[in-house]
Structures are given as structure tokens and as C-alpha cells.
Structure 1
Amino acid sequence: EKIARVLVPTEKVVEVRNKQKRETEQKFFPGYVLVEMELTDETWHLVRSTPKVTGFVGSGSKPVALPADQVDEIVRNMEAGAEKPKPKSVFQRGDKVRVIDGPFVNFQGVVEDMNPERGRMKVVVPVFGRPTSVELEYYQVERL
């Protein structure tokens, strides 16, 4: 028909709660929905009257079509994320954390660096009174 495809760009992420790894979906353009459609007054009003739709990408009220290569890239990113979920990062450099698993359990430290692709981070903790950088997985720490 006139509306060919509706797409909410999401990716799978792995988050850890209570030491359990869990896959969830996360929107990578929160608030955006991609709609492939023939633009007519009828389809414009249909989309515009959809609950929670507040506007369109573009200037004013007239939507602007995304180039096909950008849409293809978004779809490729979604497919790649479905094949290999990324760890969900809830930490930033400088965050104060407590180690909750592993040999440094109950140590407190500061996030020094993060590697989201591997789901690991470097945390500076005091060992024998000296700041020491240790590499931990996301699930091994909690934010203070």
C-alpha cells in the first residue's frame, strides 16, 4: 500500500542485574520512528495523528526523506547489534564505584577507562595504600 515499512531503530544490549546477564533492547534514536511511505495528504495525516507523534524530521511541518544509504546503514547497525549484543554501559569516567564481585570485592574506586565492546573497565582502587588500576567487567561493579 502507501505505507511500506515502519521501523523503530533498536539494538540489543547486555545488562547485568543481581549478577545475572540479561539481553534487552535499547532504542538508538529515542523518540524517532522511520516510516517508508508514499507521501500524500492521507498518509501525512495518518502519521501526524498517531499518538505520541510530535513532528517530523525536516523544516516546519513537511517531512524530509532520509537518503536510502542512511536508512540502509541504520538497518545494518540493527542487524549487527542483533547478532552480537553490546554491553549496556551505565558508567562514565570519574564515576565512584564499589566492586561487588571478584578478588577486589568491597573495594571502592573510580572509573578510569571503559571498553564497551568488551564490557570491561579500568577502575583505580587502593591496594596497600597505593592507587592501583584493575580491569573489571561491568557486572563486577556498582555505582555508589
Structure 2
Amino acid sequence: MRWRLLQAAMCGVVILGVAAGPASAAGWADALFSERAHDFGPVARGAKVRHDFLLVNRLPEPISIVDIRASCGCTSGRASASTVSPGQAAKVEAEMDTRNFVGPKATALFVTLMTASGREAEVHLGV
């Protein structure tokens, strides 16, 4: 009986440790962006609107922008640099094409970052 309780307790600790990992890893990456959401407000149908999200590397090591994915086909993203040195900045440009929808639209960019020491995190930028 004690053995089963000990096994259950250890399993819970392992699960909590795994669940806490990505959240704490994302914290360092979230802090690199001055803002993580932008509302374009009302725009004319068919317009292409753009917004730059500023990433400032406050870490003591270089950061690589590994990937930028969009949540839908109406949004795209690109980075002004693939590697950002300590103290330097880069822009992640979000572009939304309004030709294929009417009314409010919430989309996102998912930016995957990696440090030189191998820490990886994904940042959600709301558009």
C-alpha cells in the first residue's frame, strides 16, 4: 500500500515537472517582445495591413528566430534578422490580407526562438 502511494506521488511530481517546463521556458521569450498583441481596428476590405513587433535581446547570448508560423492563410510573418545578438533588436512583421473575409478576424503568429545554449520557446503574437 505504501509502495503504491509512493509511486503515485512520484508520478504526480514528474507530471508537474513536465507541465511546468514549457511555461517557465516561454517566460524568458515572452519578455523579449515589447508587445505581444496588435489590433488593426477597422480597415477597408481588400487592404493589406502590417505591424512590426519589436524583439529586443536582453539575454547574455544570441537568439535565433527558428520559425514563424501563422494561424491562418490571411496572415503571414517574417523577421528582419534570423539571429539577434545580445543588446540588439529585430522586427517580426505581421501582415494581414483582408481580401477573403469581412468583419472582425483574430489571427496569430507563432514565433519559435532558440538561444545559443539550446533553450527553445514559442511566442504567440496576436494580430
- TM-score relative to the length of structure 2: 0.26
Of structures 1 and 2, the one scoring higher in RCO (CA 8 A, sep 6+) is 2
More helix by percentage: 2
